[in-house]
Structure 1
Amino acid sequence: MRRLAILSLVLPLATPSLAAFPCDELWGERNAVYADAGYCFRTARGIAAFGNAGCRYDDIRDVPLSARDRAKVNEIVRQERENGCRG
């Protein structure tokens, strides 16, 4: 499994430095959280980046995330919106 662990040093929570990361890296870090928690990816991009070996959750709403991981995902999503990232 390929992991784009680039933000673990600048997160766990809001930081102005997130704006410096390109959309692809934000996408990768956000989805790495879900992959680590057992999400089964549906898109070719997600499957290519993370695979589905050992996945357990087909619905992203069912993926159990810690409060820290949920905050990390929310902050990344906020930054993706601010940067105008798509998908």
Structure 2
Amino acid sequence: MLRSALAGIAVVSGLAAGPARAEFPCDELWAERNAVYKQAGYCFRTTRAIRAFGNAGCQYDEIADVPLSARDRAKVADIQRQERSNGCAP
């Protein structure tokens, strides 16, 4: 599962800034958004996220406490907008 999530991240990350973004399925957007949080040290709570990313080395139990750069916050906000636009489940 981790390999498939990371493969999706690699595909999405290479194209994230382009206008074709609306074509990305919900699972790829989910993986890209959560990869940002994983990289910043978030401790996942859902079974899906823990299976995909694990919690090794995590530091922050609350998502609001995760120290994201302005660029990462903008990226997450963009992904969340796209998820809403695509009708992805929260």
Question: TM-score when scaled to structure 1?
Answer: 0.89
Please, which runs of 5 or more residues in structure 1 have no aligned partner? none
C-alpha separation between the residues in 1 aligned to 2:12 and 2:68?
17
Deviation at 1:10, TM superposition (A): 2.0
Q: How many percent of aligned residue pairs carry the same amino acid?
A: 66
Root-mean-square deviation (Å): 1.5
Alignment of 1:64-79 (within 5 A): 64-79=67-82
1:63 maps to 2:84: no
Please, which runs of 5 or more residues in structure 2 have no aligned partner? none
Deviation at 1:18, TM superposition (A): 1.1
1:81 to 65, 79, 84: 84
Higher helix share: 2
Structure 1 stretches of 4+ moved >3 Å? none
Letter in 2 for 1:83: N
Question: TM-score when scaled to structure 2?
Answer: 0.86
Higher relative contact order (CA 8 A, sep 6+): 1
Matched residue count? 85
